[in-house]
Structure 1
Amino acid sequence: MTTVTPSNTAAANAAGTTAAVSNSRATGFGGDFNTYLTLLTTQLKNQDPTKAMDAQQMTAQLVQFAQVEQSIAMNTNMSKLIGLQQAAQLTAAAPLMGRTVEVASDRLSLQDGQAVLRLPAAGTARAAQIAVFDNAGRTLHQATVALGPTAAAWNWDGKDATGRRLPDGAYGFSVTGVDGSGAVSSLEATVRARATAAEREPNGNLKLVLGGLVVGFDAVRSVDGG
C-alpha cells in the first residue's frame, strides 16, 4: 500500500510500484510475442518445399503477429497512464494533510484524546442520544445532547464511563434522535478529524487516513479552510 504523508515522498514510490508492475506485465507479453515468433520461423524453416504454406494462411499469421505486437504496446502505455494518474491523485491529496476534514462514517477518530461529531440541527428530533463502542461492540461512553437551531459539534474526551482515558484510534458510534414525546428515530451525524495521510491500495483505490480512521475520498463532506 502506497502512502502520502505531509512529507509527500510517497508519490514517487507510487509511480515506482506501478512501473514495476508494468514491466512485469510487459515481460509476460514479450515472452508470448517471442514464443509466437519462434514458432512461426520454425514452421517456415521446416515446411515441405513441395507443399509450401498457403499465401492466405501466411498472411493471416502475419496479421496475428502484428496484433500481438500492438497489444504489447497498448498494454504498456495503458499501465504507464494509470500509474501517472494514481501518482497524481496522491500528490493532489497532499494539501489536505493536517487539515480538519468532515466525513461520513460509522466510526469516529480519537486523535490526541479528542473526537468530534457534527450533529444536525433540531427538527423532528429535539435531542441526540450518542453511544461510543469499542471493536467488540461494548459501550464505552453514552451521552444525550440537546439539538439546537443549527448544526453543532459534539466532543468526546476519549474517556470511558469509568473515567479511564482510552488510546487514540477508531471507535464505533451510533446516534439516535429523540423527539418531544420520547420517540426515537435515526439521526445522521458526520465525523470531523485531522487528515494524517493518504493511501493507495493495491487495487488502486485511494483512501484518506484520519488518525486511526480510514475512509474513501467519496466520504469527504467538507474541508476546513487553510
Structure 2
Amino acid sequence: MYTGNYTGTYDESKYNQIKNRDNDGYTTRTVKTNSATDASGNSYTTSVSNDKLTNNDFLNLMIQELKLQDPTKPMDSQRMMDSQLQMSTMETNRAMAASMEKLVATFNQTSLSNATNLIGKNVEDVNTDENGVSKAYSVLSVETLNGEMVVKARQILYYEDVVKDADGNRLAYDANGFIYNEDGEKTGQKIVLKNPGEIAVDEDGKPVILDENDEEVAEHDFVYEGMTTPVYSSEISTIPFENITKVF
C-alpha cells in the first residue's frame, strides 16, 4: 500500500496552451470546463465542452491529467479511451455531414444549371383539368424554393386559331368571340366559336362573323390560315420539378 507523499508537477504554461489560454490565464476561445480537487489538493478537469475541440485537444488533456493524477486513485483508462473514441466518432460524423452538405449543394447547383434548359419550353404536370386533360404550362424561370427545385410558369388555357384581316394584321378576339380594335375596344362584331379559341368556318373556309345584332356578315375580309397560338393564364404557377411529366 502506498504511504508516501504525492506531489504533482504543474506546468502552468503548458496547461494554458492545452486549455487555449493566454499568459494571463484567460481563455482564447469558448471552453467550458468542470474541475475537481483530489485528496492531495491537486486540481483536475472532470469535463470539457467546446464545439471546436479536436481529438488532439482531448489527447493532450488526457496526457496532462494522467501526469497530475493521484497514484492512489488512478483514473479509469478505459473510460478515457471510450471518451476519446466517442470524440473521434463525432469528428468523423461532423466531417461526413459537412462533405454531404457540399455534395448536395453541388448537386443542386448542377441540377439547377441543367434545368435552365426548360426555360421557354412547354411542360405538363400531374394536374388535370375538368376534362381529365393534363394541364400544360410555358416555363418562365427555374429556381430552388426551400431546398426544392421548382419552375415558375404560366398555364396554357387553350390554343386560339389565328385570324387575320386584309392587311395581314392579327384579329383580336376573346374567349366569347367578341372582336376588339387596335385600341382594345369592342367593335360590336363577333367571331363564331365552337370552343374557346376554336373558330367556326363557312363552306368556303372563311371565319363566320356576326354583327351587333347577331346576324351573319356575308362579306368580310377576315381569313383563317390554319395557324394557332397559345392563350396563357395571367397567374404564375409554381410547379415542383418532380411533378413535371412531359416536356415539349
- Decide which structure has greater strand share: 2
TM-score over 0.5 for the pair: no
Q: TM-score range by the shorter chain?
A: 0.3 to 0.5
- Decide which structure has greater helix share: 1
Q: Normalising by structure 1, report the TM-score.
A: 0.44
Q: Which has the higher contact order (CA 8 A, sep 6+)?
A: 1
